[in-house]
Structure 1
Amino acid sequence: MFERNRVITIANQKGGVGKTTTAINLATALAAIGERVLIIDLDPQGNASTGLGIDRRDRKLSSYDLLMGYNSIAETALETAVPNLHIVPSTMDLLGFEMEISQASDRAFKLRSALSGDDAFVYSYILLDCPPSFNLLTMNAMAAAHSILVPLQCEFFALEGLSQLLETVDQVRRSINPSLDIQGIVLTMFDARNNLAQQVVNDVRTHLGEKVYHTLIPRNVRVSEAPSYGKPAILYDLKCAGSQAYLQLASEVIQRERRRKAA
C-alpha cells in the first residue's frame, strides 16, 4: 500500500450518524491548518458534493468516471470554496456501478487502482465519504484506505451498529486489505443534557478505549444549517460549538498520525 499520503474511509452502515458532515468539516479543518485534502464522494446521493457547494450542473465528471477508470483524479477533482480542499463529486451514475462491474475480478480494487497514480500524492489526506450501507462502493473504499474513521451517534443502538461495522472491517482485513486500521471512533450528535448520551459515551470508551477520539461533536443547529448554504459549518459559522469541535478533531487526527509515524 502507498504511504505518501493518508487515505481515510469515513464509514458507518447506519445512516444519519453525521458521516458526511464529519467528512466535510474534518476535511475543511485539515485544509485550514495547511494540509492539502481531497474528498472523494462515493455516495450516489452526493451530499458531500452539495454540502461543499458543487452545483449538479458542474459535475461533468464524477467519482463514477474515476472508479470506472475513464478519468484520473486530476481530471475529476474540482476546487471548492475552501483553499487546499478539492472534491471528486458524486452523481447518480454511481447507482449503476455495482451492476456494471459485479463480474469483474478486480471489482473491489477499482478505487485502489485510481489512487495509485501520481495525481493522488499531491494530497496529504484523501477522505472517502461512503454510502450508508456495505456495498461494492464501501468495499472499494475499504480496500483503498489505510484506515477507517467511524462516526457514531450518541444513541441507544450505537454499540450494536458499531459491533457489526467492526466485524465488517475484520472481514475486509482477512479478504482484501490486511493493513486496514481503525483510525478512530468519533462520537457525534452529543447532547450534554441527555443522560443516555453520556451513558453511550461511557460505554463506547469502556469497550474501545484509545480508539475513541476525545473530541465530542455536539448536536448543533448551525452545523445542520450549513449544508443548505453549500458551506462547511467551519465557513458558515466558525465560532459555533460544532465548528470548534471539528477543528479539535482535526488536531487529534494529526496528532495520532504523528504518533503513528513516530512508532
Structure 2
Amino acid sequence: MSEHRPHRITFANEKGGTGKSTTAVHVAVALAYQGARVAALDLDHRQRTMDRYFENRSETEQRRDIALPGAICEVVPGGDIDSFEATAERFGEGADFLIIDTPGRDDPLARHAATTADTLVTPMNDSFVDFDLIGQVDAESFRVRKLSFYAELIWEARKARAIDRRQEIDWVVVRNRIGHVEARNQQRIERALGELSKRAGFRTVKGLSERVIYRELFPSGLTLLDKGHLGELGTSHLVARQEMRTLLAGLHLKIPQENRAELEPA
C-alpha cells in the first residue's frame, strides 16, 4: 500500500435530488483550480452523473482546444469492499484528494465510503423531508426527538475512528437551496440542525442555491469557476460563484503548499 493516501471526501445522502453530484463536481474543480491533484470515483453506476459531467468537460476541452482544471474520474461498477479499496488505492495514486460520489439510495459501498471518509459531505435541501435522513423531530414543537439510523451509523463510525487513534471524520451537512424556503420553516430547520449537530457531531455550512445555471452547465461540463469560458455572466451567476467559494472555505480542506494556487477573485 502507498504511504501517501489522498484525503477522501465522500458526498453521501440516501435521498436523491439534493444537488449531491453538482456539489461534488464543483468542489473537485475548485480544488483543482487551487493546484490540488484530484481523482474522483462515481459509485452510482446507473446514473453516473459525476462521471458524465467530467466526460462532458473533457469533450468541451477537445472541442474548444482549451485546458480546464478538473479531476480524472472512474465509475465503480459495484463489487465488494476489498475490490473497492483496491480501486480507490490504484485510482488515488498521486492524488491529493479523492472525491467519492455515492448513489442517492441505501447501498453497501456507499455506507463504506461514508464511514471511511476523512471529510463526509451530506448535502440536503432545507426541508424536514430531507432532515428526516439524519434526525426526527416532534410534530408540534419541531424539537429533535432522536437520531436517524444514518446519523447513528456515522456517529458509531466516528467513535470507532477515534478509538483507533485515527483522524476523526469531519462530517459536514451542506444546506442547499436555502433561498426558496419559507422563512419560518427555514428558522425551524436551522434550530433543529443546531440541536442535532451537537448530538450527532456534524458541522453545517451553506451550500448552493437553486439556480438554472447549474443544469445548463451540465452538457458542457463547465462550472461557475470557469471564468473566461462562460460568456457574459449576470449578477446572480456572480453571486452563485461566491457561494461556491464560501462552501469550499467551509469544508476546511488543506491544499498542499507546494501545489497551492489562489482562486481568481469573482
TM-score normalised to structure 2 length: 0.69
TM superposition shift of 1:20: 0.5
- Give distance in 2, aligned partners of 1:31 and 1:25: 10
Q: Is 1:250 aligned with 2:248?
A: yes
Map 1:54-203 to 2 at 5 A.
54=56, 82-89=68-75, 94=77, 97=78, 101=79, 107-117=80-90, 120-142=92-114, 144-162=116-134, 163-170=148-155, 181-191=169-179, 194-195=182-183, 196-203=185-192
The whole-number CA distance in structure 2 between the counterparts of 1:141 and 1:132 is 13
State the one-letter code of the partner of 1:48: M
CA RMSD, 1 decimal: 3.5
Amino acid paired to 1:138: A
Q: Give percent identity, aligned residues only.
A: 20
Amino acid at match of 2:244: Y
Counterpart contact for 1:152–1:187, Cα < 8 Å:
yes
Residue 218 of structure 1 and its aligned partner are, at CA, apart by: 1.6
The change in CA–CA distance for 1:224 and 1:241 in structure 2 (over 3 A counts) is farther
Extract unaligned runs of 5+ from structure 1: 58-79, 102-106, 259-263
- Partner of 1:212, secondary structure, is strand
> SS in structure 1 opposite 2:89?
coil
CA distance in 2, matches of 1:7, 1:120: 9
Q: Which has the higher helix share?
A: 1
State the one-letter code of the partner of 2:241: S
Task: Say whether residues 1:229 and 2:220 are aligned partners.
Answer: yes
Q: How many residues align?
A: 222
How far apart are residue 242 of structure 1 and its match? 2.8
Write the deviation string for residues 39-74 of structure 1: whole angstroms up to 9, x where unpaired: 2111121111222344999xxxxxxxxxxxxxxxxx
Q: Is the 8 A contact 1:154 1:189 kept in 2?
A: yes
Give 5+ residue unaligned stretches, structure 2: 60-65, 135-147, 257-266
What displacement does 1:171 show? 5.6
Distance 1:126 1:83 in 2: 15
Q: 1:47 aligns with which of 46, 49, 62?
A: 49
| Structure index of larger Rg | 2
Q: CA deviation at 1:109?
A: 3.0
